[in-house]
Structure 1
Amino acid sequence: MSSRARRQRILRDEDDEDDEYTQPSTSGTQRESKRIRQEDSSYNELDSQLTAEQTSQDLERKVNDTVRYALACEHRKQVIRKDDIARKVLTDRSRSFPAIFDKTQAKLRHLFGMELTELVSKEKSNPAKRAAANGKVVLSKTYVLRNILPEEQNDPQIIHHTDDEYQSTGLLYVILSLIFVNEQSMNDELLMSHLNRLRIPEESETFGDRARMLDGFVKQGYLQRQKLNAEVAQSDQPVFQYSWGPRAKAEVPEQNMVGLISSVYHVQGSELDRLQDSIYKAASIDT
C-alpha cells in the first residue's frame, strides 16, 4: 500500500473515532426522549391538579359571596335580581351561574332554613294583554328568600323580631287578608276606608306616614298597585287598584291566609268549615 493510501486510511479511522464521541447512540436518544416526555407529563398533571383545586376554591368563595348577598337583600327586603348577582358577585364567573346557584340553594337550605324562590312577572293591567298571556306564568329572573322551616320551628321564641317588624308584618297581613277576601283586588278608596276603621290614620305614631308605608309594601313586592284607566275606574280622579304582589304570592300560601282569617273568629268544627268555604268563595277560588 502506498504511503498516500495509508495516510487516507488513518484519517478515516480518526474521523470514525470522533463520531463515536460526538454522536449519541440511537438507544440513548430514545431513552432521553422518553425521560423528557415523562417529566412533561408529570408537570402537566400537577398543573391540572393545581388548576382544579384553585377552580374549586374560587367556586366555593363565589357560593359564599352569593349567600351573603342574598341574606343582605332579604334583611333590607329587597328583591334579588339575577343580573345583579352576575354583575356584583360573580363578575368573571357569571357563566357559572347555574352551578353556583345550585350550591347556594343547598347551603341556604341546610344552614338557614331558607331558599331562593323566583318571582313571577307582574300581571298585566290591560285585560287584552292578560287574555293574550293565556294564563301562562312568566318568571321574572328575580328572587326572594322564602322560609322553609317546619311549622314547629317557626316559633317567636326561636326566631326573634323587633316590635316594629311585628307591627309592620301584622298590618301587612291584615291588608293582604282584606284584599284576599275581596276577590283578590281592592281599589285604594275601599282600602283606605278599611284602614280608617282599623284606626290607622294617614299619620300615626306606630306606622308613620300611611302612604309611605304602602309605598314600602309595594317596593318590597308584597303589594302590586296599578292605575286603572278612566273607563274601568268610572271616575275623573286617578283610581289605583291593589292586589297581592309577587313576593306575597311566593311567601304566603293561600291556605295559611285562610287559617289566619279563620283564627280571628275563634271558630271550630263544622262552623270553621263553613267559614273557610265562605272565605274561598269571597276570594273567588275553587276549593
Structure 2
Amino acid sequence: MPRSHKSKLQASEKRRQARGEAQGEVAQAIAAVEEESTISSSPQCEDAAQSLPPSGSSSTSQRRRRAQATTVTSTAVSSTRSDEDSNSQDEDRVSPCEASYYTENPGEDSLTRKPGLLEQFLLYKYKMKQPILKEDMLKIIGPNYEDRFPEILKKASERIEIVFAVDLKEIDSTRQSYDLVSKLKLPNNGRVRAGRGLPKTGLLMNILGMIFMKGNCAAEEDIWKFLGMMRVYAGRKHFIYGEPRKLITKDLVRLQYLEYRQVANSDPPRFEFLWGPKALAETSKMKVLEFLAKVNDTIPSAFPSYYEEALQEEEERVQTKAMVRASNIAKVIIPSRAMSQNIFPPLVKSEFCYSPDKKI
C-alpha cells in the first residue's frame, strides 16, 4: 500500500476515534444534568457517564445501540466534514466515493452495515444540497436488500435524527425524492450560515433541553460545562459548529432562538440563557424532551419531573389555542351582522314605490 494512501487511512481512523463518542457524550451529558438537578441544586459535573433508567431493555443493550449509532454517524460526519466559517470555501472536498466509505467493525454482517452506508449517503446529499432519490438509496444498499429497504432507511434516519435533530421527509412522491429537514426553522435548513455544511439543530435542541432542565434559565457556565461533555468548547473551532461561542451567543441570539442576558446585579458580570421567542414559537418542552429521550434510548416519562412540566405546558397551549379560536370566531360573526345592515343603502320610497293612483 502506498505510504500516502496509508497515511490518509490512518488520519481518517484518528478522526473517527476522536469523534466516535459524539452521540454517547450527548446522552451522558444529559444524564449528568438530570442527576445533578435531581440530587443537588449546586452545579457539579460528577459521574457524567450515568444513564437514565432503562425502558424495556438493559443498560448494556442501550450502550451497545448507542455505540453502534455513534460509530456509524461519526464516520459519516468525518467523510462529510465541513468548516462553516467562509461559506465552506475551506471545507474538505468530498467525493461520492468518500461518502460511501464505511469502517467495518469485526463481526458485522452485511445487513448491519447497510444502515451505516445509507446514513453516510444521506449526510453527503444533505451537505451537498442534492436531492435524495429512492432509486439512488436502493443502489447504495444493493439489490439483495431491496425488500429490507424500509427497515434499513428507518435505522439510518433515526441515527441521523438523534445527532443532528433533522427528520427524513418525502418531498416529492412522484420522483420519490427525500430531504433531511431541520426540526427548527433555522436558516438554510439548519445550517444557520449560507453555503454547504451540516445542521446545527442538534446543538440547539440540546441547549434548549439544558435550559429546560435548569428551571427554564441556565447560567452560561452551566451551558459550557454541559457542552464540554459533548467535546464542544468555547473558543475552540468545532468540525460541525465552527466557533461555538459565536454560534451560541451571537448567531442563535440574533435569530431569536436563544436569549442571552446579564444576570441582574452580578459583579463581575455573569450571563444566562433562556429560550428565545422563535424557540417558544417553533417547539415545546415536550418536543425537546422527546428528542432528549431518543438520544438516551428511552421515553419522555423517564424524566418524571420534566415530563409533568411538559405535559402541563401542552395543556396550557391547547387551552390558549381554543381561546384564540373562539375569539376569532366571535370577531367573524359580529362584523357580519353589522355589515348585513350596511352593505346596501336604505331603500328610498320615492324611487321604488308607485303612486297609489298610478296604474301599472
TM-score (norm 2): 0.32
Of structures 1 and 2, the larger Rg is shown by 1
TM-score (norm 1): 0.39
| Structure with more helix by fraction | 1
| Structure with more strand by fraction | 1
